[in-house]
Copies of this chain bind each other. A is one copy, B any other.
Amino acid sequence: MEIKAIKTPIIKPGDDVIRVLLDSMKTHDMALHPGDIIVAGEKVVAIAQGRIVDLETIADEDVTEQARRIGGKYHIDPRKVKVIMDESEEILGGVDTVLLTKSYGLLLANAGIDSSNAGKSTNVILFPSNLWGTARQLRHALERASGVQPLGFMIIDSRVQPLKVGVIGGALAVSGFQPVEDIRGQKDIFGRVLLIKQIAVADDLSSAAEIMMREAAEQTPFVLIHDAPVTMVPDDQVKEDAMIMPMDECLFMNVFKNYTKDKILLPK
C-alpha cells in the first residue's frame, strides 16, 4: 500500500475540487489507477461548498436561552452554540470550549465546526453538507474526469481518542469501497471474537491519510492511497450507517456512563 499527499493551491468557495485535484496531480506527475482511493479533508470540501457562516449575521433573537446557557457554561460564543445546535441531532455534553455532539450520525466535537482559514474572525466553517451524497458525487465526477474506474473516495476529519493523547483520522463518508469489513470465522476467544469481528477499514485508512495531510492541511487536502487491501463495491452496496455503532451497544458508552472515581471495581 502506498500513501501520498497531494499538494494543491488554496481552495476557495465555488472551486471545483475535482478540477483542482486532477490539475494538482498532473503538476506533480501523479497518476490514478483502478482501485485507488482519494481521501479528502472535510474542510476543503466544505469551503468549496461555501459552507461558511458569519456569526455576526445571526440575529440576537435567533439565539435561544438554551444556547446562551450552554455557551456560558462551556465558554463558547452563544451564536456559535446556535450553529452547533442547528448542525446536531444531540449534544451529549462538553468540556471547556468544546461540546461533544452527535451530528450526521457521528460523534463529533462542536459538530465539526471550525473557524481557521475562514476569512474574518467571526466566520465559522461547517461540515460539508450531505456528506455521503457529496462523497458519491465527487467520486463519480473524478471517475468521469479522469477516465479511471473503479475509484474509492472518502471524506475524513481529525478526532480525539478516549484516554489517549492526540488526534487520529476518522472517516466521515465513504464511496466506492466497503467501509467496514466483516471477518467472522476467525478463531478467537469468546469475548475477543465479539471485538474483532469487524475491521474499521475506512477509519484505519483515514488515520494513514491523516498522517500525510497533517503538517499543512491547507496545502495537502487530498491523499492518494494506492493498492489498499479494500473491497471495491458499487455505491448501492455501501451502507451509510455501516460505521455507526448504536449507543446501547458501545463499550465506552456503557462503561463510562457508570464511571466515577469511587466506583472503580479494582483500585490498587
Given contacts A162-B107, A208-B211, contact A167 B114 (CB under 8 A): no
Across chains A and B, which 6 residue pairs bring their CB atoms closest together, nearest first?
A: A256-B256, A166-B200, A208-B208, A207-B207, A93-B255, A97-B191
Across the two chains, which residue of chain B brings its CB closest to A192? B114
Interface centre among A93, A113, A158, A206, by most chain B C-beta atoms within 10 angstroms, is A93
B contact residues around A164 at 8 Å (CB):
106-107, 170, 200, 203, 243-245
Among the interface residues A164, A181, A199, which one has the most CB atoms of the partner chain B within 10 A?
A164
Q: Do residues B1 and A92 form an inter-chain contact, with CB atoms below 8 A?
A: no
Looking at the assembled complex, report how far the CB atom of A3 sits from the nearest CB atom of chain B, in whole angstroms: 5
Give residues of chain A (2-45) contacting chain B, Cβ–Cβ below 8 Å.
2-4
A242 touches B165 (CB 8 A): yes
Chain A positions 120 through 160: 1 when the CB is less than 8 Å from some CB of chain B, otherwise 0: 00001000000000000000000000000000000000101
From B89, B168, B245, B260, A163 is in contact (CB under 8 Å) with B245
A70 within 8 A of B: yes
* Interface membership of chain A positions 244-262, coded 1 if the CB is closer than 8 angstroms to chain B and 0 otherwise: 1101001111111111100
